[in-house]
Structure 1
Amino acid sequence: MPDALASWLRRRLLDLRQRLWAKPLAACVLSVMGVGLAWMLDAEWLMKDPPEVSADSIESLLSIMASSMLVIAIFAAGAMVSAYASASNNSSPRSFPLVLADDSSQNAYSIFVGAFIFGVVGLVAVENSSFDTVGRFVLFIETALVFALVILTFVRWVDRIARLGRQGNTNQRAEEAVTAAIRRYRRAPLRGGVPATGLPPDALAVEADEVGFVCAIDMQALQQCAADHHLQLEVAALPGAFMVPGRPLLRVAGAGQGLPGNVAASLRGAFRIAQSREFDGDPRFGLVVLSEIAGRALSPAVNDPGTAIDVTGRLVRIFVRWLQTAPEVDAPDFPLVQVPELALSDLVEDAFTAIVRDGAGSLEVSCRLMKALQTLASLGNEELAAAARAKAREALALAELRMELPAHLERLRSLASFAD
C-alpha cells in the first residue's frame, strides 16, 4: 500500500475514533441487520422440527431490553462527558483527543445504543407477526447473545470508566501517543526522502497561503511533481510547524526564473494545514502536551508535584525508546525530496522547559529533574547529552533564583555537577 494512502487511511480512522457518533451508528446498523437476518432465515432456512419459542416470551425480553438500554446509554453518555471534562480540567486541554478516542468507552456506549435499537426493531417486528417458528427461534438466540454481550460489556466498562479521565490514565495515554509517533518517525526519519544537504542559493521558496499547523506531508505528491517538472525539493516545514502566509513550506531548485502557478499550487497542496496540531505524525506535540500536564500540576492552584515527577519519568522513558528504535535503512522512495531531521535539542526543549520553569522552587521536582537529565546525558548520544546538560544548567540557574534554603541549593548543585 502506498505511504500516502496508508497515511490517509490512518488519518481517517483516527478522525472516526474521535467522533462519538461513528461507532453507535455502526452498532445501530448491525442491530437492524440482526433482525433482518432472523426474517431472512425464517423464509429461507427450512429447519426440521425447530424449537418452539412463544412470541410472548420474546416480546418480554425485547421490552426489557428496549426500556433498560436507553437508560443505560444515557447514563454511559453522562459518565463519559464527566470523564472528558475531568481530563480537560485536570491535565491539559490538548490531551482531550486522547481521552475522547478511548475505544473501551466508545464500544460500550455503542453496544448499549445498538441493543436499544435491536430491542425496539425486534419488538415491532414480533408484535406485527413478522416471524414464524424459525424466525422466532433465531430472534430468541440473537436476543440472548445481545443480553450476554451487554452484561459483559457493562461489567468491563464500569472498571474502565472509573479510570477514564483520571490524571494517571491521561498521562499514560499521552505517553502511548508520543511513543507511537516516535516509533513511526524513527523508522523513517526522512519520510522516504533523502537527507537535507541544502539547495543552491537561487532556489525558490513555495510559501504557505493559510494560517495553521502543518499536520501531514504527501511525499508521494512531492516526488511526482518534482519528477514531472525536473525539480529538486527541500522541505522547510515539518509537521508541527506553525505557518502563516509568506512562510516557506519548501524550497525548489531547477525552476529557472519561476514556478508556474499550477506547479506551485500542486506543491503547496501536498502539505495539509489544520487549525491544531495532531499526535499522529508530530512527535514533538506529544512531548509538549506531557510538559503542559506537568506545568499545570505545578501551578499554585493545583500544587501536585507528584504528577510532575511522574511525567518526568515518562519523558525519560520516551527518550530511551527514541534511541532504542533504529531507523530502517532502505533506498529512498522519494529521492528528489530532501527532508531535515528533528533535532534532539528541540525535543529536550519541548519536553522539559515547563518543568524547569515551574518546578524551580520545588526541591523534590528539581532533584528528580536533575536525575532525569543526568540519565539522558549518560545514554551515549552526544547530541542528547549536550542538550540535557544545557537544560540542567538552565534548571540550576532558575533554582538559584527561587530557592531560599542554602542546604537545598547545595544538594541541587551536587546533582547538577554532571553538567559542568
Structure 2
Amino acid sequence: MAEKFRLYLAELRERLWVKPLIACILSIIAALIADMADEIWLGHGVPNITQESAEDLLKIIAASMLVIATFAVASMVAAYASTGNNATPRAFPLIIADDVSQNALSTFIGAFIFSIVALTALMNSYYGRAGRFTLFVLALLVLGFVIFTFLRWVDRIARLGRLGAIIDRVEAATAASLHRRRCAPRLRGMAVHGNGADGHAIYAEAVGYVQHIDMAALQKYAEESQTRIVVAALPGTFTAPGRALAYVHPDARITEKGLGKIASAFLIRDDRRFDDDPRFGLVVLSEIASRALSPAVNDPGTAIDIIGTYVRLFVQWAKPLEKDEEQAGCHDRVEVPSLYVHDMFDDAFSAIARDGAGMVEVCVRLLKGLDALARIGDPALREAAIRHGRLARERAEDALSHLEDLKAIRNASAFCNEGPT
C-alpha cells in the first residue's frame, strides 16, 4: 500500500493542475469564512476598515496576480523547452515536477481567485465590520506571501532550464532511486535460485516499459496457490507480447484468472520512470553527455561533469547500509534478480567512451573516474571498472594519433593492467 501511494504521489507531482486546484479551493474557503469574525468577535473591538480601502487592495491584487500568473506560465514553458533542447527530453518529468515552480504558480492563481471572490462578496455587503477587518488582514498576508514567493521563484526559474540544474536534478533522482534499490536490492523479495526461466511463463499483453511491480500482489497470489514466482522483468525492462514478465513454478496449476492476476501486478506504460528504475537515471545522464560531445554542441566540460556525477553515484551504490536502512525481504515466495553492475556501467560509460574517444581530456577524466571506482574496495565495481577502462583505452587509441595524447591515455589507464586479463 505504501509503494502504491508513493507511486501515485509521484504521478500527481507531474500534473501542473493539482496544486493550483488545491490553492483555488483554499482561497475560496478563506475568502468566504472571513465573515465568521462578525459572529465570534465584538464589532467595536477591531479597527473599522472602510469598504473602499479593502476594495482597492483586492483590486490591486487581482490585477497584478493575473499578469504575474501569465508571466509565470510563459517562463515555465520556456524552461521546459530549454530542457529538451539543452539536455534530453527524458529529463522533462523532473523539471515539470519542480516544487518551487508549482508552488509559485499555485500561489499566484490562488491569490487571484481569493481577490476575485473576496471582492465580489465585499461589494455585495457580505462582511460586517469584523469581517472587513479580517479580510483586510488576510489580503495583506496574501500580498506579503506572494511577494516572498515571487522573489524565491525568480531565483529558481533563472536556473530551472539551465543544463547544470538539469544535471543536478537527474543526479538527485538517480541517487534516490539507487538508495531505494540498495535498501531493497530484490524489491524485498528473495534471491533467484537455479534457472529462473524454468516454469510457466507469464507474458505481457502490452508494449511498453515496466514502471512498477506490485510485489504484495505477487506474494498474495503465490501464497494462495502455494507456489513460487520468479520475476523476469525488472522496472525499466521493455516488454511486448511474447516477452516473459515472470515465471511460475512448473508444478503449479495456473488458471486464466491467475495469469491475469500475475500480469496485472506489472505496471506497464509507454515511458520509463526514475522512481523504481535506477538504470534509467544513468541512461539519461549518458544522453546528456552524448549530446554535449556531439560536433554540433562540442561541450566536453559537460561530459567531464557527468563523469564526476557517475563516480559519486557508484560510490553511494557501494556504500554499506546502516542498520536502520536495511529492508528485510518479506515476500518469501517471490524471487527477484538483483541489478547487475556490468549493465549499470554499460548504461553509464559506454556512450561517453564512444563519443569522447577523440577528445583526450574526456578520455583521461573517464579513465581517472574508472580508476577511482576500481579502488574503493568493491569487487564487482572493480571488475566492471577495469573492463570499461580497457574498452575506453582501446577506443581512444583508435581515435587519437598524437603521441603525447596516447601517452596520457596509457598513463591514466595503468590500473587496467592490475586486473585479470
Please report the TM-score for the alignment, with normalisation by the length of structure 2.
0.96
Partner of 1:268: 263
| Equivalent residue for 2:305, pick from 310, 327, 336 | 310
Contact 1:53/1:136 (<8 A) preserved: yes
Show CA shifts across 1:102-159 (max 9, x none): 1111111110111111111111111111111011011001001001001111111111
Superposition pairs of residues 241-256 of structure 1, within 5 angstroms: 241-256=237-252
1:358 paired residue among 352, 355, 358:
355
Aligned to 2:318: 323
Match of 1:171 in 2: 167
Change beyond 3 A, Cα 1:202–1:319: closer
CA, structure 1 residues 65+200, in 2 after alignment: closer, same or farther (shift >3 Å)?
A: closer
Q: 1:336 to 1:76 in 2, by over 3 A?
A: same
Note the C-alpha offset of 1:261: 0.3
Paired with 1:58 and 1:255, the residues of 2 have a C-alpha distance of 77
Question: Quick check: 1:377 aligned with 2:364?
Answer: no
Are 1:401 and 2:398 an aligned pair?
yes
Maintained 8 Å contact 1:200/1:253: no
Aligned length: 415
CA contact (8 A) 2:184 2:328 kept: no
How far apart are residue 325 of structure 1 and its match? Answer: 4.6
Which residue of structure 2 aligns with residue 105 of structure 1?
Answer: 101
Shift of 1:255: 3.9
Distance 1:199 1:336 in 2: 16
Q: Which residue of 1 aligns with 2:274?
A: 279
Q: Whole-Å Cα distance in 2 between the matches of residues 337 and 201 of structure 1?
A: 14
Aligned residue number for residue 36 of structure 1: 32
Q: What is the CA-CA distance between 1:201 and the residue it aligns to? A: 7.3
- Alignment equivalent of 1:189, drawn from 178, 185, 207: 185
1:21 alignment partner, one of 4, 17, 24: 17
* Partner in structure 1 of residue 287 of structure 2: 292
Partner of 1:81: 77
- Residue of structure 2 aligned with 1:118, choices 111, 114, 120: 114
Measured on the aligned residues, the alpha-carbon RMSD in Å equals 1.4
Structure 1 residue matching 2:413: 3-state secondary structure = helix
Does structure 1 residue 418 correspond to structure 2 residue 418? no
Structure 2 CA distance, aligned partners of 1:114 and 1:318? Answer: 39
Measure the CA separation in 1 of the matches of 2:70 and 2:314. Answer: 42
Partner Cα distance (1:141, 1:325) in 2: 53
Partner AA of 1:289 in structure 2:
V
Structure 1, unmatched stretches of 5+, are none
The letter for the 2-side match of 1:402 is A
Q: Is 1:230–1:254's contact at 8 Å kept on the other side of the alignment?
A: no
What letter matches 2:366 in structure 1?
Answer: L
What's 1:347 paired with? 344
Distance 2:20 2:98 in 1: 14
CA distance in 1, matches of 2:397, 2:403: 9
The answer to whether structure 1 residue 158 and structure 2 residue 151 are counterparts is no
Partner of 2:385: 388
For the 8 Å contact 1:377–1:384, the answer to whether it is kept is yes
**Residues of 2 paired with 1:147 and 1:342: CA distance?**
51
Distance 1:385 1:201, change over 3 A: closer
Contact 2:111 2:142 (8 Å CA) reproduced: yes
Of residues 135-144 and 201-210 in structure 1, the stretch that sits farther from structure 2 once superposed is 201-210
Structure 1 residue matching 2:318: 3-state secondary structure: helix
CA drift of 1:208 comes to: 1.1
Q: Secondary structure at the match of 1:108?
A: helix
Q: Percent identity?
A: 48
Q: 63, 87, 90: which one pairs with 1:94?
A: 90
Indicate the residue corresponding to 2:130 in structure 1.
134
Once residues 290 and 94 of structure 1 are traced to their aligned partners in structure 2, the CA distance between those partners, rounded to angstroms, is: 10
**Are 1:6 and 2:2 matched, yes or no?**
yes
1:48, distance to aligned residue in structure 2 (A): 5.2
1:185 and 1:6 map into 2 onto residues whose CA distance is: 16
CA distance in 2, matches of 1:201, 1:113: 54
CA 1:373 to 1:281, structure 2 compared with 1: closer, same or farther past 3 Å?
same
Contact kept? 2:32, 2:118, Cα under 8 Å: no
How far residue 45 of structure 1 moved from its aligned partner, in angstroms, is: 3.9
Structure 1 residues 274 and 402: CA distance shift in structure 2, 3 A? same
Look up the equivalent residue of 2:22 and give its one-letter code.
Answer: A
Runs (4+) of structure 1 exceeding 6 A deviation are none
TM-score, length of structure 1 as denominator length: 0.96
Q: CA deviation at 1:41?
A: 2.8
**Matches of 1:45 and 1:186 in 2, distance apart?**
57
Separation (CA, whole Å) in 2 of partners of 1:128 and 1:154? 31
Tell me the SS of whatever aligns to 1:335. Answer: strand
Question: 1:254 & 1:39 partners in 2: Cα distance?
Answer: 70
Instruction: Quote the Cα distance in structure 1 between the aligned partners of 2:65 and 2:258.
Output: 56
Other structure's SS at 1:215 match:
strand
**CA distance in 2: counterparts of 1:201 and 1:144, whole angstroms:** 66
Q: CA deviation at 1:404?
A: 2.1
